[in-house]
Copies of this chain bind each other. A is one copy, B any other.
């Protein structure tokens, strides 16, 4: 058993600390974030800091690192007010990872990393054709954090583009069937397998599988 305390964390070698801190909270939602500039130059980057903020209104938050010269994503979101989140599949996760490379401003990662743009009517931001769960969002709030210079972007879901066979009877997206992958830390990718779907928890009632779930693969 090891207890790494605050002062020791600050003394860790930089890359070691980055890997450790990034991997602490476990698996993270993994998406390709698609945007476009007002000039029509598309941008695509892998993102693992999205979080669910609420279902009514349907809101998703995400964290964008401090603005840099070649960081077009935040600039595009602010300029157009629209962006997309697209799930990542095992067949092309390496190309998705490649979008994290520092391409110069104005170079589209769609082209550089081999992805196809999909557009829908009256929505500027490009979706990823290779994904099978695609979310279109409209910007609602930008929160700049003094504490470390990052920016929290909050958007409302205005498009959900997927296969109807991937939506279960209760509304849950079947990410197992979709083959969505996840990441822990900066660079280690995983394909999850279902353990079980549990019934709504109530005090005094033992936790149990949801009735329509016959899986219990622990």
Contact = CB atoms under 8 A, between A and B. Distances in A.
Contacts of A218: 90-91, 93
Contacts of A120: 3
A152 B160 CA distance: 25
A97 to B, nearest CB: 5
A160 B103 contact: no
Interface residues of A, number: 119
A189 B180 contact: no
A52 B133 contact: no
| Chain A interface SS verdict (over half) | mixed
A27 B27 contact: yes
Contacts of A28: 27-29, 51-52
Q: Of residues A18, A141, A210, which shows the largest number of chain B Cβ atoms within 10 Å of its Cβ?
A: A18
16 contacts: A3-B161, A9-B58, A17-B56, A20-B172, A25-B31, A26-B87, A26-B175, A27-B180, A28-B28, A54-B65, A57-B148, A100-B201, A187-B199, A190-B194, A190-B195, A192-B193
